[in-house]
Structure 1
Amino acid sequence: MKHIFFFFLLIPGFLLAQKTTILKGTIKNKYNQPISEVSIKFNKTGTVSDENGRYSIRIPLDTEVTVIFSHVSYKSITKKFTAKNRNQIRFSPTLILKTEQLEEVVIKDNKKNAQGITSIDVKKAQNVIGPNAGVENVLMTLPGVNNNNELSTQYNVRGGNFDENLVYVNGIQVYRPFLIRSGQQEGLSFINSNMVQNINFSAGGFQAKYGDRLSSVLDITYRKPKETFTTIEASLLGASATFEGAFLNNKLTTITGVRYRDNSLFVNSKQTDVNFRPRFTDVQTYLTYEFSEKFTLSFLGNFSLNDYNYQPLSRRTRFGTVANPLELIVFYSGQEQDKYLTLFGALSSEYKVNKDFTLTTTLSRYNTQEEEYFDIAAAYNLGEVDANIGSQNFGEVQFSQGIGSQLNHARNDLDALITNAEIKASIKKENKQWNFGVKYQKENIKDRIREWEVIDSLGFSIRPPHHSGNNQPYVPFEGPIVPFQNIREDNEVDINRFSGFVQFNQRNFLNNHEVWYNLGVRLHNWSVNGNGVSSKNQTVVSPRAQFAIKPDWDKDMLFRVSGGWYYQPPSYRELRDFNGLLNVDVKAQQSIHIVGGMDYSFEMWNRPFKLTSEIYYKDLNDINAYTIDNVRIRYRADNVTQAYAYGLDLRLNGEFVPGSESWVSLGYLKTEENINNRGYIARPTDQRIKFGVLFQDYVPNLPNLKAYLNLVFNTGLPGGSPAYADPYQFQERLRDYRRADLGISYVFVDANKQYTNGWLANFKELTAGIELFNMFDIQNAITNTWVRDVYSKTQFGIPNFMTGRVLNIKMKMRF
């Protein structure tokens, strides 16, 4: 009886087997490694692959089914099957890691492409090789983005300066310190690349929802963790630890990063011998709590301390030509002690009134407390070098053109407190969207400046250039010693700002052509009260627009145009002139942007590629001219300058090596300014040609051994002039900037390569490698040191060379 019972139980399964067949295979990645836990599903039937990547599933006969192969770490594959008989079907797909998808090769988010926004793969920001590895380092490989200072995370975009770039983290604007004058003092970027989820960048022509600056927008989103991880990185340059996790049924998420940085490895490779003890520390946290499906509260906090102690000892710099070489020898005494303490906190809430209407409010406060104290005495000798190969003194200084000394002193203190309150709204309906926002910002800055310089040449104290009766060293001056430069000011400034925006965008079709457009306008009102003097209220209105069309062509192309009137209401730095004097009536700088671009996606060598090109023009009015010394910007504070900038940016990115994205970029820029109708001269950021390569590769027979190459070539910047001098008399350029950085790493554990036993089973990711910075040991100049020739009174610009070849060891682990 039991056998009969089991017989009847087997009949349905037997009949079912007659109407189905087996689909089976092995799922692997591009390295030919099996992938487990891949979901294989059609309709309501599904299975998963085993630890060897094998799977087996029954599909019906004579029926077309769509089978989906999906994994959390890989790009999904969809395949249609129609079984005509009961013979088994074998299908063994190869899945591609999501982090290896070419986010800019295949137009996956046409809206961002239409807006002229570049989306950058987060993995690129984490893996790119460079002295300041991170988001900014990736930006500097893009056309139109320049920086000749490898110790700085600041960047120039299309002829603008560091102060003209907007940076947002989770929709909250972040700021940079005020007093920092050299890249080696910066320490750490605000952006912690290990916490980042999305990176969006616009080099110009951006939307009205972004603030009031002249050049660019970097929009960063920190992620909300879904799992618990701890990531640790360590190298000879510092270390970092990041913890992330989700708690209380995923209602509470947290991601916290701690970083430490020490730049002494780079500074010790420079031409100046120093005792250098930097300590750069940074702690960031991003917390979110979801009270309900409609209401979420988040907090972003940052603590940063840069403790910079610098004691120069000596310097030897050889420059000039082969036929007429010169050498500067300097011996120092004294030291510099700087400290930059930054505190930042922002509380945000998001309330979804319904599926189409979202309200966001943000309260934030930024405080920076900065001290810049130094007393450095320098004794120098500027001499001619014996260039006669047959001479016994070949290569030695044979004649001194200038002998002297100088003493630099500073006791500068600054305390800035910036408070913001903002509310934004978003309304979506079908293919239309409205965005609104209003913001109030109050800035309080207290600045105490005590800075002077005394220059002595052959026993004569050099007077300032404007000093009456100055005919030194030919005629001794018998009056009291006067500092060559002397700034003594106490500034207290309050700035109140009201701003708001409204914009509308829509996606539509014109015949079969896909069309996007965005129209918006910003309004900014501000007033300044400084040192007991109040300015009148000033208001600027900034209309902006973007338009793009994706034609219904066989070729995958997208065309866009954007522009508008862009204003930059003055910050405190722009209100202060070369001598520290305050001008509360400085107007907003104005720029009319016109940007046209094209994206062309295509296949080459059976692999995806994308060519992006943009041409731009900026008409600049009411400009506040400035000088740049390393990363220190000093403004004229007078709005008497007109300027322009135009150029062309090209970038080709794709799989030059199968499975790895690389790109080549080329930019041309020309920007000039006309100060007080004296004629056009090159602006300090007039860098004509930019060529960059970001290349990734791996060894085919050893795919876990990876290489990253970062190449940059920039034509020379104007060499600048002393702050007290006439820039029209100083138009010589620095030498071209050339740099190559190489990184080699071995992946022990990652998403493709997991272990179930042994000590490697404790890790979810483990990599180790070496980095070779400036591998050709090229001497690149960032600025000039100006030394006076006592005989001809000529000011010699002695180049300040950046870092030489440096080797670093690096390790990263996640568990």
Structure 2
Amino acid sequence: MCFAQSATISGIVLSASNVPLSNVNIVANEFGTTTNLEGFYILEITADTENTITFSHIAYKDVIVKDLILTTNETFEFNPILKSNITQIDGVTVTANGNKKINNILNISPEDIRKIPGANYGVETILKLLPGVSSNNELSTQYAVRGGNYDENLVYVNEIEVYRPFLIRSAQQEGLSFVNSDLIQNVKFSAGGFQAKYGDKLASVLDINYKTPTLFSLRADLSFLGASTSLETVSKNQKLSSVSGIRYRDNSLLVNSRQTQSNFNPAFTDVQSYATYRFSPKLKLNFLGNLAVNDYTNKPLNRQTNFGTLDNPQALVVYYEGQEINKYTTALGALKGTYILNDNTTLKLISSIYHTTEEEYSNVIAAYQLGDIDSNLGSSSVGEVITTRNVGSQFNRTRNDLDALIFNMEHKGTHTMNNSVLEWGAKFTHEDIRDQLRESEFIDSAGYSIRPPRSEFINNQPLEPFNAPLVAYNGINALNFVKTNRFSGYVQLGTQKTWNETDIYYNLGIRTHHWTVSGTGVEKVDHTVFSPRAQFAIKPNWDKDMLFRLSTGIYHQPPFYRELRDSTGTIQPNVKAQKALNIVAGNEYSFLLWERPFTLISETYYKKLKNVNPYTLEDVRIRYSANNNTEAYVYGAELRMNGAFVPGTESWISIGYLKTEENRDNKGYIPRPTDQRLKIGILFQDYIPTIPDLKMYLNLVYQTGVPGGSPSYADPYNFQNRLRDYKRADLGISYIFANKNKQYPSTHWLHAFKELSFGFELFNLFNNQNSITNTWVRDASSKNEYAVPNYLTSRVLNLRLGLRL
């Protein structure tokens, strides 16, 4: 038995003078609604079938959209313009994730984001299933795109750029992503080749829009990992609306599944609000506010990791003393004013201020023993250490403090001319960073302290006496006060034409960025870069629904504070912007299979990078060399097929291959830290036909290991070790008691719920042993050094309750 599923279409209806129209009737088959005072509407339609939607008003001619096909739970934004002289018939076919994205932007369903199981709920979980996006750490919300690193991704919420904390070094310290999934209206993502209006990064753009509510709604989500609640409100005159959310997360369930036993006491909390006030049909003001407190306390106790081979099983046993106390407090406040100047011109003014205070304090002593384990299956001590070959200890001390203030002021404008759109913008950014680094690592092996593996510590003991101060194996001590002023701007022109029944689109734009670095004891340095970018798309008038895209441009990434800081903590103000020539070619083919909509997207890409700032990556911590002595390249190909594999659901499979290498100081090309190679991601949704309210959500990820398992001091040209392949499956099972398709009479106890679901999640379903780094242990007796994997989370059960009133 199959039940009809629904999708959602929403937007703002405008007049020819670009003024929102109220009381416009919208009808789609048996469904209907009207626009509110601000011209906003939201309408549910039948998914996976053709829909004809009519927009009508007594003072205007109708707008008719024909052959609209949306997949289940898809949200499609459509903003029609009603004119007074003609009836408009827009005969478009929209299949599998909305209209053809000629601007190289992918739409992602907010409903899928909220439902898909993952160790971190949110948009990042679903991004990691895309072919060009990789992450080998389920505890982290950070991701790498097409050979880039975590610092090469742009994130916007309602056109406001958002930032992440600076000092986080391990994923279990991260807590919450900035983006609150409960507040999302729509999500757009580009993995490369994006337009000039987006900022100056090398890899990707995540463009989030929060909701503008039209009705009161209260949503809550509870699980063993934490809780969240969101509230949507609208004033009686509908001029003021707001959507707000509170989240609390506790990673103990996941972290305690790792091999290191600890007293783990994290508390990750944030509060967000997005409000809109309409002064008139032409003027509105938006406010975005966020306050997040990540309070992380960890007292490691002990750890045993078995490794080696069947013939030579070994174990590392570690006993700890001490604790880590880290705290990250971030706040963001932003105002955005939008003014409709005339029929064709819209102006915006955006200001924001971001402040973060971060503390990393730790004293941890680790005493370890390396030995052989009992592999006799009949023994009562199987798996335990029976002989010890080496002992040693390690002392880590950290006292890091950072205070950062970032202020932005930006103007944006849009002017429409027939079938062309002219967009421009100018932005000023001021960054004030105060940073104190104090880190040290002492290693003691068999009663003596090991010095750093540097030439000044080479000695010929005991034949020759050697006198040198006792120094840390690794140590950083730096105090930095850095200010950066940035001026950036862009202008771009997009045009859509029809030639011999073939639709043609192109967008030409250019960005410029000028910045000045200064500070206490820092030389004042200026830099300027220009970034031309272009996108071209063609949709032939063929029987097959196909679109071809080509994007190219010069992309620059001016250095942020962390990219100016070298491995010793010293600021290098002469660091240039990293530069990439990016070429992306793609095809999008929409078709009906089993009388259901599907889309096949294929892309190839190539990046040639210069002025590369090389770095090391350990867990999620990036440390730059703070120079431009490297060149690199990235190339790859991707396939992604999505659609209704099961009627009434949307699933996809994606496959990607990439290769990225770098050449430092003309020594030759070696793999970069994000040389991912093969990536396979599967998102699958299903239900029991006889019990359609019992839903199943499954995501599967396989990706080959990256070069991340080498010692931090190793020269990558002499030694490179890859991590093991990353394999993970997360399963979610839930029962839907109430939703928009399942309502109850007023006498029923479920009548009060617009949505109610309960279920369980199994993270790491097959209990794969994935590792994020290696601990390198020295065996004094054999003079060998062993790579002991630091494993990620094992299988974990989580219960989850979701409701909306």
User: Which of the numbers 777, 786, 799 marks the counterpart of 2:767?
Assistant: 777
Which residue number corresponds to residue 804 of structure 1?
794
> Structure 2 CA distance, aligned partners of 1:759 and 1:394?
55
> Structure 1 CA distance, aligned partners of 2:761 and 2:390?
41
User: Which of the numbers 511, 517, 524 marks the counterpart of 1:528?
Assistant: 517
Cα distance, 1:581 vs structure 2 = 1.1
Which residue number corresponds to residue 647 of structure 1?
636
After TM superposition, list the pairs within 5 Å mapping 1:588-737 onto structure 2. 588-737=577-726
Whichever residue aligns with residue 733 of structure 1, its letter is R
Contact 1:99 1:123 in 2 (8 A): no
User: Which of the numbers 387, 391, 394 marks the counterpart of 1:403?
Assistant: 391
Which residue number corresponds to residue 201 of structure 2?
213
Which residue number corresponds to residue 539 of structure 1?
528
Contact 2:70 2:98 in 1 (8 A): no
Instruction: Provide closer, same or farther for how the CA distance between residues 282 and 472 of structure 1 changes in structure 2, counting only shifts above 3 A.
Output: farther
User: Which of the numbers 541, 549, 562 marks the counterpart of 1:552?
Assistant: 541
Whichever residue aligns with residue 555 of structure 2, its letter is Y
> Structure 1 CA distance, aligned partners of 2:325 and 2:601?
46
User: Which of the numbers 73, 97, 105 marks the counterpart of 1:100?
Assistant: 73
Instruction: Provide closer, same or farther for how the CA distance between residues 699 and 800 of structure 1 changes in structure 2, counting only shifts above 3 A.
Output: same
Moved more, 800-809 or 109-118: 109-118
> Structure 1 CA distance, aligned partners of 2:635 and 2:405?
36
Which residue number corresponds to residue 3 of structure 2?
31
> Structure 1 CA distance, aligned partners of 2:31 and 2:380?
76
> Structure 1 CA distance, aligned partners of 2:367 and 2:655?
43
> Structure 2 CA distance, aligned partners of 1:349 and 1:531?
36
Cα distance, 1:534 vs structure 2 = 2.5
> Structure 2 CA distance, aligned partners of 1:519 and 1:717?
36
> Structure 2 CA distance, aligned partners of 1:549 and 1:110?
17
Q: Deviations over 1:498-548 (max 9, x none)?
A: 000000001101211111100000000001013322332100000000000
Moved more, 723-732 or 540-549: 723-732
Which residue number corresponds to residue 788 of structure 1?
778
Which residue number corresponds to residue 358 of structure 2?
370
Matched, 1:70 2:31: yes
Contact 2:76 2:98 in 1 (8 A): no
> Structure 2 CA distance, aligned partners of 1:550 and 1:421?
38
Instruction: Provide closer, same or farther for how the CA distance between residues 258 and 472 of structure 1 changes in structure 2, counting only shifts above 3 A.
Output: farther
Unmatched runs of 5 consecutive residues or more in structure 2: 8-26, 33-42, 54-67, 78-92
Contact 1:698 1:705 in 2 (8 A): yes
User: Which of the numbers 432, 435, 441 marks the counterpart of 1:447?
Assistant: 435
Contact 2:332 2:353 in 1 (8 A): yes
> Structure 2 CA distance, aligned partners of 1:207 and 1:214?
12
Contact 1:627 1:635 in 2 (8 A): yes
Whichever residue aligns with residue 810 of structure 1, its letter is R
Which residue number corresponds to residue 222 of structure 2?
234
Contact 2:6 2:72 in 1 (8 A): no
How many positions carry a matched residue from both structures?
Answer: 743
Question: CA-atom RMSD, angstroms?
Answer: 2.4
Whichever residue aligns with residue 545 of structure 2, its letter is D
Whichever residue aligns with residue 153 of structure 2, its letter is N
> Structure 1 CA distance, aligned partners of 2:301 and 2:70?
51
> Structure 2 CA distance, aligned partners of 1:31 and 1:786?
56
> Structure 1 CA distance, aligned partners of 2:488 and 2:280?
31
Contact 1:73 1:98 in 2 (8 A): no
Which residue number corresponds to residue 88 of structure 1?
none
Q: Deviations over 1:394-443 (max 9, x none)?
A: 65545545321010001100000000000000001221000000000000
- 1:208 is paired with a residue whose SS is coil
Contact 1:362 1:422 in 2 (8 A): yes
* Max Rg structure: 1
Could you tell me the TM-score, scaled by structure 1's length? Answer: 0.88
> Structure 2 CA distance, aligned partners of 1:509 and 1:474?
84
> Structure 2 CA distance, aligned partners of 1:366 and 1:611?
40
Whichever residue aligns with residue 138 of structure 2, its letter is E
Contact 1:720 1:730 in 2 (8 A): no
After TM superposition, list the pairs within 5 Å mapping 1:468-617 onto structure 2. 468-471=456-459, 479-617=468-606
Q: Deviations over 1:7-61 (max 9, x none)?
A: xxxxxxxxxxxxxxxxxxxxxx9527999xxxxxxxxxxxxxxxxxxxxxxxxxx
Whichever residue aligns with residue 205 of structure 1, its letter is G
Instruction: Provide closer, same or farther for how the CA distance between residues 78 and 785 of structure 1 changes in structure 2, counting only shifts above 3 A.
Output: closer
Q: Deviations over 1:69-115 (max 9, x none)?
A: 224322497689xxxxxxxxxxxxxx999753497994489876111
Contact 1:749 1:764 in 2 (8 A): yes
- 2:456 is paired with a residue whose SS is coil
Which residue number corresponds to residue 152 of structure 2?
164
Which residue number corresponds to residue 176 of structure 1?
164
Contact 1:765 1:814 in 2 (8 A): yes
Contact 2:743 2:751 in 1 (8 A): yes
- 2:253 is paired with a residue whose SS is helix
Cα distance, 1:467 vs structure 2 = 5.3
Contact 1:460 1:473 in 2 (8 A): no
Cα distance, 1:381 vs structure 2 = 1.2
Instruction: Provide closer, same or farther for how the CA distance between residues 79 and 148 of structure 1 changes in structure 2, counting only shifts above 3 A.
Output: closer
Which residue number corresponds to residue 132 of structure 1?
120
Which residue number corresponds to residue 431 of structure 1?
419
Could you tell me the TM-score, scaled by structure 2's length? Answer: 0.89
- 2:650 is paired with a residue whose SS is strand
> Structure 2 CA distance, aligned partners of 1:248 and 1:154?
41
Which residue number corresponds to residue 253 of structure 2?
265
> Structure 2 CA distance, aligned partners of 1:568 and 1:303?
28
